[in-house]
Every structure is written in structure tokens, then in C-alpha cells.
């Protein structure tokens, strides 16, 4: 007769639980063992220094990148970053071929990837160009040019408010004007809808190429250790995949959701444009006259039309248009502020790369949406309206970009 276990009876752990615990211990061991051996190998490499046999007396490879410049009543201030294989020691500084006294903060050698401010009490002249040369202890020279000397904007309301107004003109205002075409777009038929979506893809394709080109150019100005081109590709890929996962949580986005993703991608691109404008303010390399501001405005109106296209079949509330205009245009204000006050090439390249990845994700989503709307794709024929929209979008962005490239 079998015994019935009472309430105080303790059941033996199943064999499967014991096997699982042993498996976890084995996995932990095979993770810890390679790491331990790696640490031992690194310690031996440092202590024994087997590479000294290859030392032929050649000077170390030195690299110095100029990341930021400030001009004020105290002179010229440069933020530099070391990127070579050995620490860098700054020995002398020349300005316009003349040696000048300088102070370094922090002082001493600059280890790899470390930064320091070089303060030069040089009486710069407004509107003139100045050439700066930094000489290291080994005699290596690094040059930096100031094309047009202007006072660096300070973080106060007297500068930030006008910059915010400018950012609104090149970001929020044109996108809002583009969204105002929405009532006119609602009267289009199926072919017109295909044309508008293809137009949006053309606009975004131009922005993708433009953002990628600018990101790679800025990455080339950053310290070599950051591996600028690789950083751009990785950041764009991660941005694309993250937005793809988020956007696909509830299926393929349509209507307002798709318009929001388009506005987000354009907003990240406008953040990069704002960084470029702010950096131009600081460097004095470009005078943003009325014609140039109008050019930016005209260029970005087309972006508002692209945001409105997915809303034709699903009209949203009026508040949604306000949100979309701010999402796409307001980052231009932030970009101008950061670009004029805390600009560095690697962070600007990273911002543009993230924007490029976001734009690519939006292109894919709009393309999928376009395929679902038109049955003619099933016959492997591309509608003429779609081809016309793609060509018109790219051509329109290219034509208006001519007005803003300096």
C-alpha cells in the first residue's frame, strides 16, 4: 500500500534541477577561464615588455586634433585631443609664424585620447585670418587655421534668443508651411497618393545621402582613435535597427504613426543642420544673410509636405500637426545652440549618423506602405506616378539645396 505524503513531507529535488545547476556552473567556468587567461597574458605583456626588441629609436607616432576654438578678450583658446600611440608633450605654440607664450590646462603630458585647453594671450583682429602651429617635444607640428576671427558667442540670453529665432526660421517655420499643404493633398486619388509617397521617399533619399556625406566628412576631422567612418556606419546601423524594432511593435506603421517617424528622421537631420550653422557662427566661416536663411526655409518646406503625405487617408487632430512640426523643426534650434557653444566633430558626426539611420528606417517604412496601397506592384510594373514622385522628390531637394550650400 502506497503512503500518502503529509503536509510536513519534503519532496526530493528533481534530477532536472540538479542538471540545470551543473550546466550553469559549467558555463560560468568557461566564461571565467578565458578571461582569467587573458588577464594573465596582459600582465605578462606589461611586465616583460617583449616589444622592446623592436624599438629602433624612431620617435613615437603623435597625433593632435583641434576640437574646439574660443576667441574672447583673453586671446585664443584651443581644445586639443591627443590620439597617437604615446603621450604628447606640447612644447611651443606659434601664431602667424611668431612664437607666443601659452598655458595648458591641465598641464603636463597628454595621454592617448586625453584633452587639454591651450590658452594663448594673442590679440586677434576681428575679421582677419590667423594661423596657429602647435609644436610638440619631438618637433612634430600640427596646424590650425582661423579663417575669419570673430568673438565666440557666450551662453547668455543675448545670443541664445536670436539663435533660437534663427533655428525656428530654418526648422519649425518651413516644416509648418509644408504641413499647411495638407488640405490640398487630401483631394488626390490613388495615383496622386502614390506620387506623394514616392515624393516623400525621394526627399528622404536625398537627406540620407546628404547626412551620410556630412557625417563622413566630420568623422575625418575627429581624432583618429575614434575611427570616424566605422563610428558613422555603426551608429547609423544601430539607429536603423532600434527604430525598426520600436516601429514594428504593433505592426507596420501607417497614418499618424508613419508621419511621426518621418518627422523624427527629419528632426534628427535638422539637428545636424543646426550643428553646422552653430559651428559656422563660432568659426566665422559663413555669414548667414537673409538670402541664405530664405534658402534654408525653402529647402525645408518640402520636408513638411513629405510628413503630411501619410496623413491623407487618415486625418489626425489639429494638435498632431503642431506636434509633428515641433518634432521635425525644433531640433534645429538645439543644434544651433550646441554647435555654437559645445561643438566637436565626433559628436556632430555621431548625430548625423544617427539621423541617417533614422531616415533609412523611414524610407523602408514608407516604401512598404506604398507597396501595400497599389496593387500594380503585383504585376512587377512600376507605376509612372511613383517614378515621377521619386524623381521630383530628389530633384526638388537638390534644387533647393543649391541655395543653402556654402
- Summarised one tens digit per residue, pLDDT across range 163-181 is 888 888 888 888 888 888 8
* pLDDT greater than 50 at residue 2: no
C-alpha cell at 225: 582613435
Phi-psi region of 334 (alpha: psi -120 to 50; beta: other; left: phi over 0): alpha
Who contacts 119 (Cβ-Cβ below 8 Å, separation ≥6)?
Answer: 74, 75, 76, 77, 102, 103, 104, 105
Each residue of 22-33: b (16+ CB within 10 Å) or e? eeeeeeeeeeee
The answer to whether the CB of 80 falls within 8 A of the CB of 64 is: yes
> pLDDT digit string (tens) for 132-148?
999 998 888 999 988 88
Output DSSP code: residue 251: B
pTM as predicted: 0.68
Pairing between strand 98-100 and 90-95? antiparallel
Q: What is the pLDDT of residue 132?
A: 92
d(CA 339, CA 143): 22
Who contacts 208 (Cβ-Cβ below 8 Å, separation ≥6)?
Answer: 356, 359, 360, 363
Q: What is the pLDDT of residue 164?
A: 84
List 64's β-bridge partners, or say none.
82
> pLDDT digit string (tens) for 271-284?
877 877 777 666 55
User: Among candidates 101, 62, 98, which has minimal Cα distance to 83?
Assistant: 62
d(CA 95, CA 367): 54
> pLDDT digit string (tens) for 329-357?
889 888 888 877 766 777 778 888 888 88
Amino acid at each position: 500500500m502506497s503512503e500518502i505524503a503529509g503536509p510536513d513531507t519534503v519532496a526530493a529535488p528533481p534530477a532536472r534541477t540538479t542538471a540545470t545547476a551543473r550546466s550553469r556552473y559549467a558555463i560560468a567556468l568557461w566564461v571565467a577561464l578565458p578571461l582569467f587567461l587573458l588577464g594573465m597574458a596582459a600582465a605578462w605583456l606589461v611586465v616583460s615588455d617583449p616589444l622592446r626588441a623592436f624599438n629602433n629609436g624612431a620617435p613615437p607616432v603623435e597625433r593632435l586634433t583641434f576640437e574646439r576654438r574660443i576667441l574672447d578678450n583673453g586671446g585664443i583658446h584651443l581644445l586639443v585631443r591627443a590620439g597617437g600611440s604615446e603621450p604628447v608633450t606640447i612644447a611651443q605654440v606659434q601664431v602667424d609664424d611668431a612664437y607666443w607664450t601659452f598655458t595648458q590646462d591641465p598641464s603636463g603630458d597628454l595621454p592617448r585620447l586625453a584633452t587639454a585647453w591651450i590658452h594663448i594671450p594673442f590679440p586677434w583682429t576681428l575679421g582677419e585670418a590667423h594661423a596657429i602651429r602647435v609644436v610638440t617635444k619631438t618637433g612634430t607640428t600640427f596646424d590650425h587655421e582661423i579663417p575669419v576671427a570673430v568673438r565666440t558667442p557666450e551662453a547668455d540670453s543675448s545670443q541664445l534668443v536670436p539663435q533660437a529665432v534663427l533655428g525656428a526660421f530654418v526648422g519649425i517655420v518651413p516644416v509648418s508651411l509644408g504641413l499647411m499643404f495638407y488640405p490640398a493633398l487630401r483631394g488626390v486619388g490613388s495615383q496622386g497618393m502614390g506620387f506623394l509617397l514616392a515624393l516623400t521617399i525621394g526627399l528622404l533619399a536625398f537627406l540620407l545621402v546628404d547626412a551620410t556625406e556630412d557625417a563622413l566628412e566630420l568623422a575625418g576631422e575627429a581624432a583618429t582613435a575614434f575611427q570616424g567612418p566605422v563610428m558613422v556606419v555603426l551608429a547609423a546601423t544601430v539607429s536603423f535597427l532600434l527604430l525598426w524594432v520600436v516601429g514594428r511593435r504593433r505592426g507596420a506603421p501607417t497614418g499618424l504613426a508613419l508621419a511621426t517617424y518621418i518627422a523624427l528622421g527629419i528632426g534628427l537631420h535638422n539637428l545636424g543642420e543646426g550643428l553646422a550653422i552653430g559651428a559656422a557662427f563660432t568659426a566665422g566661416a559663413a555669414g548667414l544673410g537673409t538670402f541664405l536663411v530664405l534658402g534654408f526655409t525653402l529647402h525645408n518646406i518640402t520636408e513638411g509636405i513629405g510628413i503630411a503625405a501619410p496623413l491623407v487617408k487618415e486625418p489626425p487632430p489639429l494638435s498632431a500637426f503642431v506636434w509633428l512640426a515641433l518634432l521635425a523643426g525644433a531640433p534645429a534650434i538645439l543644434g544651433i545652440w550646441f554647435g555654437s557653444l559645445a561643438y566637436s566633430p565626433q559628436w556632430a558626426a555621431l548625430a548625423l549618423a544617427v539621423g541617417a539611420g533614422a531616415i533609412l528606417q523611414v524610407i523602408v517604412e514608407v516604401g512598404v506602405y506604398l507597396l501595400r496601397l497599389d496593387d500594380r506592384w503585383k504585376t512587377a510594373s512600376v507605376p509612372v506616378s511613383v517614378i515621377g514622385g521619386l524623381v521630383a522628390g530628389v530633384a526638388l531637394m537638390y534644387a533647393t539645396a543649391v541655395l543653402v550650400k556654402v
